[in-house]
Amino acid sequence: MGEQLLQLLFSGLTLGSIYSIIALTLVITYKVTGILNLALGEFLVIGALLTVSFKSMGMPLIAASLLAIIIVALLAGVLERLTVNKARGASSLTMLIITIGISISLRGLALLIWGTDTYSLPSFTTSGPIMAGGAALNPQSIWIFLLAAATLICINTFFGRTYWGKAVKASVLSPIGAQLQGINLSMISLAAFVFSGALATAAGICIGPVTMVTYDMGFMLGVKGFIAATIGGLGSISGAVLGGLILGLLEAYSSGLISSGLNDAISIVILLAVLLIRPEGILGAISERKI
């Protein structure tokens, strides 16, 4: 029983780190632009599928990954210019609908190009699983942990310790004041979408060897990322990671101890519970008390 619980802990941490990365990507866009970009899951999928295609052409994995990251980052920037930027000043609901439209369009594009087949990416390391306490840890999970940790550190450093990070936060709190200080809000929005597209692609390349890749997996990953961000407190960077880990561990243990068919149901129940009991999220509530 102890070995099974430890194995579920490894699975939950891997799953939670995946959700954390997606939630962090969502939170970055939300903190910078105030827009919930629900197309992030599709950026992740297209980035992973592009890497698969470039790899099948004979390119090394690193080169294929970098090229995919650049292409998806540019794609995210182009879509921001063609849609979000054109609708600047519209309501939050309008912006949300626009991102849903982008998501549906990108999913259709992925279906046309890659079809309904399932694709795999090679692991970053070829060594076997790491045994600990009778449980096996996939080496690719360590890369996912590292990406989540590096993303958290970089984002916290950018927003907390750099001039441009503070300028971005100021532009969200007071757009007019930021403009008076010469901060270009349009370029900040563009940079947020470009960065989130690149980060989502990196996440897709990291999790591809573990989850495999299909054209339609982006929607549920995007939903799980949104739930993770909501649990931690939408807009909270640390909360996104905490929410992702909580969601991943709950899914792993419920899947292993009760039934694997409950994963999505449990996620929705958690989302409803958070919205009803503590809509500001876990860390959002703590921040509110400090104030």
pLDDT tens per residue across all 291 residues of the chain: 677 888 889 888 988 898 898 888 888 888 777 788 888 889 999 999 999 999 999 999 999 999 999 999 999 999 989 988 888 778 878 888 888 889 999 999 999 999 999 998 888 887 777 887 778 888 888 888 998 899 888 888 888 888 777 777 777 677 777 777 777 778 888 888 898 899 889 988 988 888 889 998 888 888 888 888 888 887 788 888 888 898 889 888 888 888 777 777 777 887 788 778 877 777 665 444 443
What is the structure's pLDDT at 90? Answer: 80
pLDDT of residue 283: 67
Cα separations in angstroms, 17 against 9, 66, 207, 268? 12, 22, 10, 19
* The token pair that represents 106 in the structure block: 């990108």
Neighbouring C-beta atoms of residue 188, cutoff 10 Å: 17
* Tokens read off for 24: 């962090």
How far, in Å, CA of 157 to CA of 237, rounded? 11
Other residues' Cβ atoms within 10 Å of the Cβ of residue 118: 11
| Angle 151-157-162 from CA coordinates, rounded to 5° | 135
Question: Which among 183, 182, 194 is positioned nearest to 74, based on CA atoms?
Answer: 194
For the chain, helix, strand, coil in percent to 5 are 80, 5, 20
Taking the model in full, what pTM does it have?
A: 0.84
